[in-house]
Amino acid sequence: MARHLLARLRDLEPSVTGASKRKGDAAELEAAAILTDLLGFHVERKLGAGRAEDTGDLYGIPGTVVQAAWWPKRGVLRAVREKPLEAELQRDNAGVPFTFSMIRLVGGVWRAVLTPEQMATYVRETLPPF
């Protein structure tokens, strides 16, 4: 499923420098702290994200890739549309079953975003059958 998304993602994310890089780093740290508090897993920021073999922004949740984003100037809707697709490629790179995106909204509110396929995989793989 993830490989066909690569063509759609090639031109989405320009290289990030300066203030945008610092903002992204801060968002990843904030998302890691939130997930650590909520889940009880020690979630940390990965270094070296953005490589061709990228396996997500955060680690520490077993079997899960997490993509974090804070795009106040480029728009939350764009992040909601693009980041779950990137997360799917990263999930495939990591060889794990689950992924989701953490999107920081204006004002510091966070949302976890999944595609319907990502949500279906999570439900199928983690919940017992009826």
What pLDDT digit, counting tens, does each position of 10-21 carry? 444 445 567 777
| Paired tokens of 84 | 């779950």
pLDDT of residue 16: 54
Residue 22 pLDDT grade (very low, low, confident, very high; cuts 50, 70, 90)? confident
- Structural domains of the chain sorted by starting position, each given as residue range(s) with its CATH number in brackets: 18-126 (3.40.1350)
- 32: exposed, middle or buried (Cβ count in 10 Å: 0-12, 13-18, 19+): buried
Cα distance between residue 32 and residue 53, in whole Å: 21
Helix (H, G, I), strand (E, B) or coil at 114: coil
Query: 13-22: long-range contacts (C-beta < 8 A, 24 or more apart)?
Result: 13/50, 13/82, 13/86, 16/50
Q: What is the pLDDT of residues 61-105, one digit of tens each?
A: 999 999 999 987 768 899 999 999 999 999 999 999 999 999 999
